[in-house]
A and B are shown apart, each in its own frame.
Chain A
Amino acid sequence: GAGVSQSPSNKVTEKGKDVELRCDPISGHTALYWYRQSLGQGLEFLIYFQGNSAPDKSGLPSDRFSAERTGGSVSTLTIQRTQQEDSAVYLCASSLLGPLVGGTEAFFGQGTRLTVV
């Protein structure tokens, strides 16, 4: 596709359930980011994948959060045992090059709005 695609666009889940959020980056982009944004707030960094390197997981808020990137392309963010404070918009972005190899602009998906009830 032409841009970064995220699915679903909206997700309502019950507290305690697990959810999976998907991100299809732009083909050929080596860097992939996940961010979380609460209403009216900035972007909170969650995790960063760069090529075949070990991901930077330093932003994951708890061990209920995990993410993987298969084959250097599609990424899935999983939240286990969801809590109400997990409610936010989850944004995925990809860039051709990561910061260590020159750094280029990041392209964002439209996000997944997660509501935990």
Chain B
Amino acid sequence: SQQGEEDPQALSIQEGENATMNCSYKTSINNLQWYRQNSGRGLVHLILIRSNEREKHSGRLRVTLDTSKKSSSLLITASRAADTASYFCATDGETGANSKLTFGKGITLSVRP
């Protein structure tokens, strides 16, 4: 079963605008990660935020984590056409032997030039 659920499912914005994507999850986690996928092949890791962190930045990316609401958001500032891709959140379970990395269904981001 999939732990994380992203929303919206699809997002279309103009180049230069900010893109905000959300992820909700069900069980406790050790960390939450965001990945990007182009053309339906291998995923590329973007950022990892641990359960004791609330916010993290990497270049134009900003990730927040609210463990009380079991949710995270990924903000891409000053978007570019090259940011067009699918974005996935991934979580691991904090619960012992069942802990493994599971992904949501993803968000399709289109950035119009």
Contact = CB atoms under 8 A, between A and B. Distances in A.
A99 B32 CA distance: 11
Contacts of B33: 105-106
B99 A91 contact: no
A41 B106 CA distance: 8
Interface in B51-110: 88, 90, 92-93, 96-106
A99 B93 contact: yes
Nearest to B48: A105
A56 B98 contact: yes
Interface residues of B, number: 27
A25 interface: no
A103 B31 contact: yes
A108 interface: yes
B40 A39 contact: yes
Given A103-B30, A103-B31, A103-B92, A108 B42 contact: yes
Q: Which 5 A-B pairs have the closest CB atoms?
A: A99-B92, A42-B105, A108-B42, A105-B45, A99-B99
